[in-house]
Structure 1
Amino acid sequence: MQNPPDSGRILLVDDEPAFQRLGADFLRGLGHEVVVAGDAEQALAAFATLPAPDLVLLDLAMPPTMDPEAGLELVPRFARVPVIVWSGHGDHELALRAAELGAWDFLTKPIDPDMLRFVIARALRKAKLDAELRALRAAQAGDDMGLVGQAQATVQLRAMVRRVGPTRVSVLVLGPTGSGKELVARALHASSPQSENAFVAIHCGALSAELLESELFGHLKGSFTGAYRDQPGLVEVAHGGTLFLDEVGEMPPPMQVKLLRFLQEGTFVPVGGRSAKKAEVRVVAATHRDLEAMVRDGSFREDLYYRLKGVVLRTPALGERPADVPLLATRFLHRVAPRAGLSGDALAWLAAREWPGNVRELKALVEAAGALLLPDQPEVDAPLLRLAAGEADGDLPAEPAAPLEGLGPLDAALAELERRLVRDALQAAGGNQSEAARRLGISRVGLIKKLARLGLR
């Protein structure tokens, strides 16, 4: 017998045998496939079994404690699918907590069958749309996994990602700033069996040791000034998925010890807490620093380095793969100007340029040039790229200057004054547009727009 189109595989988690039996019969009568679990351990085991459920129905009061707080801790573990929670306590604060942790809806026992039918149908439709969106994004990404290019170094990197992605091994991504280390981490996640779970990224050098600990491991209410409620950390949010530690070489030494303990034992203690929690994540770390040199000088823990090292992938600098520049530039241009192209002199200018900022610099430059295209310009040329790069260029095509005689006396005087001020600022700055913009008290993008509007070269 074929299931209805809105049917799904449902994990029913409740400790009452009578409710398990009646609930399962009701759900099967609606055409759903039902798996029943009576406690947290059974629920997590069933959730990890293939085929995975499309929806979880979770009673918050679970044995052995029967404390709703214990049930709430399960919500992030099921976060990749809609989770409908219920409880015999119609507590407003409990409902808010469940929603903050990712629950799709909150119902109070006794449960109205019509309401349950409606909520389940809506949640399954949402899950189906999410699956279709993921499939569409995967199809658009194509075989390049988001790692665009045909240079030998890029081809080899993609091959390694495909080989390592399906495993659970930790990965260390090394490469210069702006070379696409996070893209590699996302490609590893997308090619892993955990791709439907969360991908969570954190920059390890952007926060102090105390704040980084709170961000990674969470905190309890009252653990420090401003901690008005319990807050799960990114490790817990990433459970079942991938945790990306960007610029791990910048991590403060006190946090290196706590990260090492988590990697060794799979447990962590939230700030202000006393009991350990568990989380299973795949760790991908990245840095532009020389970690081996940091280990030698004592600024990075040797045991942590070897825990993270698993498999090492290296992202090449853009200068090491010049053949990829045209492909990347075209991809970036089409994001802001889908119908535009790159002229021959633009491609030659890009090929001859050094890229100390790597792919990030190329992306910013090409997207800026695409944004500066005039309506009648079908392609980005070299003068426009030079303008976007902030380099003076005498051959830049610009919109014709508005004739002063077509303006009223006041408008004409103001326009002429604006031209004079801009021209004088550029001359004083030696043609440096960033400095000229600073002298005028405007942004460089604002100056570029004025140059085009006023017809100045």
Structure 2
Amino acid sequence: MTQTPTAPETANTRVLLVDDDPDLLRLLSIRLKASGFAIRCADSGPAALAAIAAQRPDIIVTDLRMAGMDGLALFDAVRQQHLSLPVIVLTAHGNIPEAIEATQRGVSGYLTKPYDAGELIAQIRRAIGRSGDAGESRKPAAWRSEILTRSTLMEDFLRQAELVAASEVSIFISGPSGAGKELLARAIHQASPRAGKPFVAINCGAIPEHLLESELFGHVKGAFTGAHRDHDGLFQSARGGTLFLDEIGDMPTPLQVKLLRVLEEREVRPVGATRSLPIDVRILSATHRDLHVARSEGRFRDDLYYRLNVVSLALPSLAERREDIPLLAQHFLLRLAARYKRAVTTYSPEAMALLLAAPWPGNVRQLLNVVEQTVALSTTPVIPAALVQRALQDEGGAIESFEEARQRFERDYLVRLLRLTDGKVAQAARLARRNRTEFYRLLARHHLEASAFKDATDPAGQA
């Protein structure tokens, strides 16, 4: 086997090894650790999925043939939740056709046993490079610094967004109202080669139809009543940068035809002008509407849809990333407390349980409104549950029973403790001010395994 020296750039790269042969698992772990990788091991497909839920790795290296869930079934399960997470398959020589099939389905690579350690490490580095996550830093990159999350679902989504940001393709962002589509569009612009140029956003549903054409394409002096001077329009204002067309589903059909022509010809003719002007913009678009329904009903053109939707990104709702609620709520609270000069510092456990339990049909925007109301009305440093309940009722958000909310908060609290202590039950129990026996009963009640949260670099967490 090739001896590979430790590389500094691999020191924070998290590798999940999956094999039902403990001897091979141990040998592979030793070799990759010697090259500086942070290793976590799983002896089956289900164990691997549990490990990923506790801490998303940067790459998975799995045996193809395993009892129960094999490597290909594991890959399929991973791909359902983590589209950009690379997977490398190890296989015996006789299973090469299966490995080739796996590669055709999207596996990042495969090696036959006995494998060359140097080639495996090279494949890991290539796959990590393609996925856009080299593992050097766990801090959010500058391009997405305004997007706060600890959700593995959201982290995987942002990796996909970063990958497509580097290209020039048009991106269509779908998602519910209030989820943060414009914030994501700005982040994609910042991650793109056009970051130094303008980012211009327009809400297509907020501007009257007779003004929208002029706003987008511009007009010349005298083109219509009130046109006292030339007006560039947003396509020209965004020259060299990014134009974000929000709520594109609300654009009138006649204007859809003109927009399609602009995108196809890469030039725009201002209202009243006799000649066209070249454009140099990247188009991002978004809507909360179901464009499939709009297309079937003839309210949105198929050809424009396919022109805009070269790559589609579906932004998760707040309900799909509930682990972000405490993070976002505290961030909004501190920001608003400073703005209003209020001595508010945090939420009571019961108040946070209510926030975690709420359905959030209005998503992050609704959460911000609720936090703002509670900060404005609070007379104590700790916001009580009564204020949250009142704000949620004012927002029209039905909430769960107190017992359901308490159970949800209790589980999230235990998960945070286990992550904070890397699965060390004694330490977690001390922080919770509970004895170990009681703490184990709490974990069992919520079906949590402390071993799934052990640090990837902890030798005790390798089985």
Letter in 1 for 2:162: R
Instruction: Give the structure 1 partner of residue 243 of structure 2.
Output: 243
The verdict on how the C-alpha distance between 1:143 and 1:250 changes in structure 2, with shifts beyond 3 A counting, is: closer
Q: CA deviation at 1:323?
A: 1.1
Equivalence map 1:283-322=2 (5 Å): 283-322=283-322
SS of the aligned residue for 1:161 comes to helix
Q: Percent identity, please.
A: 47
2:363 aligned with 1:343, yes or no? no
Letter in 2 for 1:380: I
Q: CA deviation at 1:391?
A: 5.6
SS of the aligned residue for 1:245 comes to strand
Q: CA deviation at 1:322?
A: 1.2
Instruction: Give the structure 2 partner of residue 223 of structure 1.
Output: 223
Q: CA deviation at 1:264?
A: 0.7
Instruction: Give the structure 2 partner of residue 369 of structure 1.
Output: 374
Instruction: Give the structure 1 partner of residue 20 of structure 2.
Output: none
SS of the aligned residue for 1:272 comes to coil
Larger Cα Rg: Structure 1 or Structure 2? Answer: 1
CA distance, structure 1, for counterparts of residue 303 and residue 394 of structure 2:
48
Instruction: Give the structure 2 partner of residue 325 of structure 1.
Output: 325
The answer as to whether partners of 2:143 and 2:190 remain within 8 angstroms in 1 is no
Instruction: Give the structure 1 partner of residue 60 of structure 2.
Output: none
Q: CA deviation at 1:153?
A: 2.1
Q: Which moved further from structure 2: 176-185 or 363-372? A: 363-372
Q: CA deviation at 1:142?
A: 5.0
- CA-to-partner distance for each residue in 1:218-270, whole Å, 9 max, x for gaps? 11111111111111101100011110000001100011011101111110110
The verdict on how the C-alpha distance between 1:206 and 1:271 changes in structure 2, with shifts beyond 3 A counting, is: same
The answer as to whether partners of 2:218 and 2:270 remain within 8 angstroms in 1 is yes
Q: Which runs of 5+ in 1 are unaligned?
A: 1-138, 393-457
Count residues in correspondence.
Answer: 252
Q: CA deviation at 1:169?
A: 0.8
- CA-to-partner distance for each residue in 1:376-411, whole Å, 9 max, x for gaps? x2222212223334569xxxxxxxxxxxxxxxxxxx
Q: CA deviation at 1:141?
A: 7.5
Query: What is the TM-score with the length of structure 1 in the denominator?
Result: 0.53
The answer as to whether partners of 2:173 and 2:315 remain within 8 angstroms in 1 is yes
Instruction: Give the structure 2 partner of residue 194 of structure 1.
Output: 194
CA distance, structure 1, for counterparts of residue 283 and residue 198 of structure 2:
12
Which of 373, 379, 384 aligns to 1:381? It is 384
The answer as to whether partners of 1:209 and 1:254 remain within 8 angstroms in 2 is no
- CA-to-partner distance for each residue in 1:329-368, whole Å, 9 max, x for gaps? 1111111115611221111010111111111100111022
RMSD: 1.9
The verdict on how the C-alpha distance between 1:319 and 1:298 changes in structure 2, with shifts beyond 3 A counting, is: same
- CA-to-partner distance for each residue in 1:13-38, whole Å, 9 max, x for gaps? xxxxxxxxxxxxxxxxxxxxxxxxxx
Equivalence map 1:6-85=2 (5 Å): none
SS of the aligned residue for 1:200 comes to strand
Letter in 1 for 2:236: E
Q: CA deviation at 1:140?
A: 9.5
CA distance, structure 1, for counterparts of residue 140 and residue 228 of structure 2:
43
SS of the aligned residue for 1:264 comes to helix
The answer as to whether partners of 2:143 and 2:191 remain within 8 angstroms in 1 is no
Instruction: Give the structure 2 partner of residue 71 of structure 1.
Output: none
Instruction: Give the structure 2 partner of residue 276 of structure 1.
Output: 276
Q: Which moved further from structure 2: 360-369 or 381-390? A: 381-390
The verdict on how the C-alpha distance between 1:277 and 1:391 changes in structure 2, with shifts beyond 3 A counting, is: closer
CA distance, structure 2, for counterparts of residue 174 and residue 281 of structure 1:
21
CA distance, structure 2, for counterparts of residue 265 and residue 312 of structure 1:
22
The answer as to whether partners of 2:143 and 2:187 remain within 8 angstroms in 1 is no
SS of the aligned residue for 2:274 comes to coil
Instruction: Give the structure 2 partner of residue 429 of structure 1.
Output: none
CA distance, structure 2, for counterparts of residue 391 and residue 293 of structure 1:
32
The answer as to whether partners of 2:249 and 2:291 remain within 8 angstroms in 1 is yes
CA distance, structure 2, for counterparts of residue 335 and residue 321 of structure 1:
21
CA distance, structure 1, for counterparts of residue 179 and residue 170 of structure 2:
20
CA distance, structure 2, for counterparts of residue 367 and residue 238 of structure 1:
33
The answer as to whether partners of 1:333 and 1:340 remain within 8 angstroms in 2 is yes
Instruction: Give the structure 2 partner of residue 232 of structure 1.
Output: 232
Query: What is the TM-score with the length of structure 2 in the denominator?
Result: 0.52
Q: CA deviation at 1:372?
A: 2.2
CA distance, structure 1, for counterparts of residue 255 and residue 216 of structure 2:
10
The answer as to whether partners of 1:208 and 1:252 remain within 8 angstroms in 2 is no
Stretches (4+) displaced over 2 A: 139-147, 207-210, 371-374, 386-392
CA distance, structure 1, for counterparts of residue 140 and residue 357 of structure 2:
30
Instruction: Give the structure 1 partner of residue 334 of structure 2.
Output: 334
Instruction: Give the structure 1 partner of residue 398 of structure 2.
Output: none
CA distance, structure 1, for counterparts of residue 378 and residue 196 of structure 2:
39
The verdict on how the C-alpha distance between 1:391 and 1:294 changes in structure 2, with shifts beyond 3 A counting, is: closer
Letter in 2 for 1:194: R
SS of the aligned residue for 1:321 comes to helix
Letter in 2 for 1:361: Q
The verdict on how the C-alpha distance between 1:303 and 1:330 changes in structure 2, with shifts beyond 3 A counting, is: same
The answer as to whether partners of 1:145 and 1:158 remain within 8 angstroms in 2 is no
CA distance, structure 1, for counterparts of residue 272 and residue 219 of structure 2:
6
The verdict on how the C-alpha distance between 1:144 and 1:226 changes in structure 2, with shifts beyond 3 A counting, is: closer
SS of the aligned residue for 2:286 comes to strand
Q: Which runs of 5+ in 2 are unaligned?
A: 1-138, 339-343, 396-463
CA distance, structure 2, for counterparts of residue 175 and residue 325 of structure 1:
18
Instruction: Give the structure 1 partner of residue 104 of structure 2.
Output: none
The answer as to whether partners of 1:335 and 1:367 remain within 8 angstroms in 2 is no
Instruction: Give the structure 2 partner of residue 148 of structure 1.
Output: 148
